[in-house]
């Protein structure tokens, strides 16, 4: 996933990022750029939650494993 993401982002243009997605449940409808930011933000938040829970259950605080 990481390599495919890097390849995609290396070739994406500002025009590509400005393309409006067909998601009528949102007003205004999001662009590709907005959706990319929301996916990265969501994944980052979940990674932090997982790290917290792992440390909480293992008793090592915020140490990485």
The 10s digit of each residue's pLDDT in 47-63 is 999 988 888 887 765 56
Return the domain boundaries, the chain. 2-58
Percent over 70 (pLDDT), the chain: 91
Pick the closest to residue 17 from 32, 7, 5, 29 (CA basis).
32
Percent over 90 (pLDDT), the chain: 71
| pTM of the full structure | 0.72
Pick the closest to residue 50 from 40, 59, 62 (CA basis).
62
Is the confidence at residue 33, as pLDDT, over 60?
yes
Q: What distances in angstroms separate CA 35 from CA 4, 10, 21, 38, 59, one per listed residue?
A: 17, 17, 9, 5, 36
């Amino acid at each position: 996933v990481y390599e495919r993401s890097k390849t995609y982002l290396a070739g994406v243009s500002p025009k590509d990022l400005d393309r409006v997605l067909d998601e009528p449940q949102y007003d205004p409808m999001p662009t590709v750029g907005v959706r990319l930011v929301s996916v990265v933000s969501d994944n980052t938040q979940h990674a932090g939650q997982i790290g917290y829970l792992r440390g909480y259950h293992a008793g090592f605080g915020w140490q990485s494993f």
